[in-house]
Amino acid sequence: MQYASLTCLTAEPLCAKIKMKTMRFLCSFLLFLLLISCERNSNKIVTQSETLSTQNVKKELPSGIENEKTTKLVDNQLRHQELLKLLNRIGFIELPYIANYPTNSLKKNVFNCSQEKISLLKDFYGNHIEMIGFIPDTTNFYAILYITLETTQVPNLITFDKQGTLIDRKAITEENSWLFPGYIIKCEEYTRIEKDLTLNYFFMMIHDYESFDKNDEDIRFKLYEKGLNDSVSYKRFMYHYEKTGRILSTGKIEFDTLNKIKVREVVKIENE
């Protein structure tokens, strides 16, 4: 009995020590786990805040783009409506159509581009224009024939896509009639718009040109007023130019190089 009680007394402090060490180990381990957990949570919070700020930036960017797209869509719808209103007002021309230079004004469908509340008009050449008509049988675009009234009534073509955006614009004659001095006997200048949207330009002129005092404006004016004076020597020339163009399926307008078919002296007359 004495040996048993001694063993018991010796084992109790040892057990207490073991329990104490175990508790310390468990506390340290739990503290370690707690620290790791806090660090991970803090990393998660930073990552989430970064993600949220990135998402906000991404949300703001599309909204700006969407606003721009919306504005453009509204503008396109407005311009498309303007085209339809102009089409209903002016109508189509019948092809083939001969656009002469200069084109005689019909005094209708005249627009002052700087004053009219039609956004499309800012894309036309000139401030004062007269619309002749729409070109028929175009699929992907609208084409309008018009003349400028400020200058010499040059026929022009302008094309828009279905949303009303400008594609192209060009004068379709050369104004060659104004380039040659002398007394004009005959002159023709025009572009024929064919059914297949081919553009055939034609220019022919016969004129008399005095062979002396070329720079004497008084003599030139008198010749213009009275015709050829019997005491003047002159030459008669004929000019014949042609070129081909087309309105493409994209709405672009193009012309080939001008072909000078004939530039020749028809007759030379010496008057005494």
> What is the reported pLDDT for 76?
78
Could you tell me where the beta strands, DSSP code E, fall in the chain? Answer: 97-100, 110-112, 128-134, 141-148, 155-161, 166-171, 183-193, 198-210, 234-247, 253-255, 259-269
> What is the reported pLDDT for 50?
33
> What is the reported pLDDT for 169?
95
Specify the pTM.
0.64
Rounded Cα–Cα distance for residues 216 and 208 (Å): 16
How distant is the alpha carbon of residue 27 from its chain centre? 76
Task: Residue 159: name the closest of 61, 271, 254 by CA.
Answer: 254
> What is the reported pLDDT for 48?
34
In the chain, what is the straight-line distance between the N-terminal and C-terminal CA atoms, in Å?
173
Buried/exposed 142-163: b ≥16 CB within 10 Å, e otherwise: bbbbbbbbeeeebbbbbbbbee
Please tell me what DSSP assigns to residue 92.
B
> What is the reported pLDDT for 158?
96
Q: Please identify every stretch of the chain with a pLDDT value under 70, giving residue numbers as ranges.
A: 1-22, 25-74, 178-182, 209-234, 265-272
